[in-house]
Structure formats: C-alpha cells, structure tokens
C-alpha cells in the first residue's frame, strides 16, 4: 500500500515536470538578471526618448526652479563655510594670544626671579664688604 502511494506520487511529479517543460513557461523574474549588456542599450533608449518629449511649460518651470534652488543652496553652503572658517580662525588666534600671554607672563616672572637670585649671589659674595652705589 505504501509502495503504491509512493509510485503514484513519483508518477504525478514526473507528469507535472514534463508538462512544464512542454509548455515552456516564460521566466519573467529572470528579465533583470538576464539583461546583461542590454542595460546600456535600455539606458540610451530612455535618454533618447526623453529628448523626443516636447517640453511643456510645467517641465520648463520645474527645471528652472530646481536650478535656482541648487544655486541658492550652493551660495548658502559657501557662505556657511566662510563663516565656519572665520570662526575657526578667530578661535585659533585667541588660543595663540593666550599662549603668548602665558609665555610673556612666565618670562617676566623668571626675569624677576633671576634678578632676585643675582642680588642674593651678590649679597652672599659681598658678605663683609661695603658697596657704595653713587648714582
């Protein structure tokens, strides 16, 4: 009984397979995968087809509007880039000024310290001597 069911199942499967091969069902799902080199031809065809279309007033206005928007956005981007560069330059100059002021301050402090050290050396060297400053 089980063998009979199995044999019937195999026979039905073979009949369906032969039927599909005889009718040659078209494979629409493979069109994109099989396109290959024809995609460039389709692309050129579409471009030529667009050139044949007569431009109407809406298309012309839309293309002009789109071009104006692009130009406006480009100007805005350039303006923002200039502002960013200006702000960065100002921040860098502030940083350099702070660094230079810190160097100047430390330089003046070290000069005062060196003068104090020199006076201390002079006082140690002239421990028992009298120094007159006639100015």
Please say whether the beta carbons of 119 and 126 come within 8 A: no
pLDDT at 131 (0 to 100): 63
Most confident of 24-38, 70-84, 111-125: 70-84
Q: Please, is 15 exposed, middle or buried when counting C-beta atoms within 10 Å of its C-beta (0-12, 13-18, 19+)? A: exposed
pLDDT over 70 (residue 133): no
pLDDT at 35 (0 to 100): 58
pLDDT in tens, 65-79: 888 999 999 999 999
Cα 97–Cα 98–Cα 103 angle in degrees, nearest 5: 95
Average pLDDT over residues 89-106: 93
pLDDT at 25 (0 to 100): 53
Instruction: Provide the 3-class DSSP secondary structure of residue 12.
Output: helix
pTM of the model: 0.42
- 106: tokens are 């430390």
pLDDT over 80 (residue 34): no
pLDDT over 60 (residue 105): yes
Which of 15-19, 89-93, 104-108, 114-118 shows the lowest mean pLDDT across its residues?
15-19
């Amino acid at each position: 009984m089980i063998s009979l069911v199995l044999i019937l199942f195999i026979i039905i499967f073979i009949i369906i397979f032969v039927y599909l091969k005889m009718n040659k069902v078209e494979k629409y799902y493979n069109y994109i995968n099989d396109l290959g080199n024809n995609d460039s031809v389709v692309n050129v065809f579409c471009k030529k087809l667009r050139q044949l279309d007569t431009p109407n007033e809406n298309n012309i206005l839309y293309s002009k509007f789109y071009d104006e928007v692009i130009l406006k956005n480009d100007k805005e981007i350039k303006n923002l880039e200039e502002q960013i560069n200006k702000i960065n330059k100002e921040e860098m100059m502030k940083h350099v000024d702070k660094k230079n002021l810190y160097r100047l301050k430390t330089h003046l402090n070290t000069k005062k310290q060196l003068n104090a050290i020199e006076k201390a050396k002079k006082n140690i060297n002239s421990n028992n001597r009298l120094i007159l400053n006639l100015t």
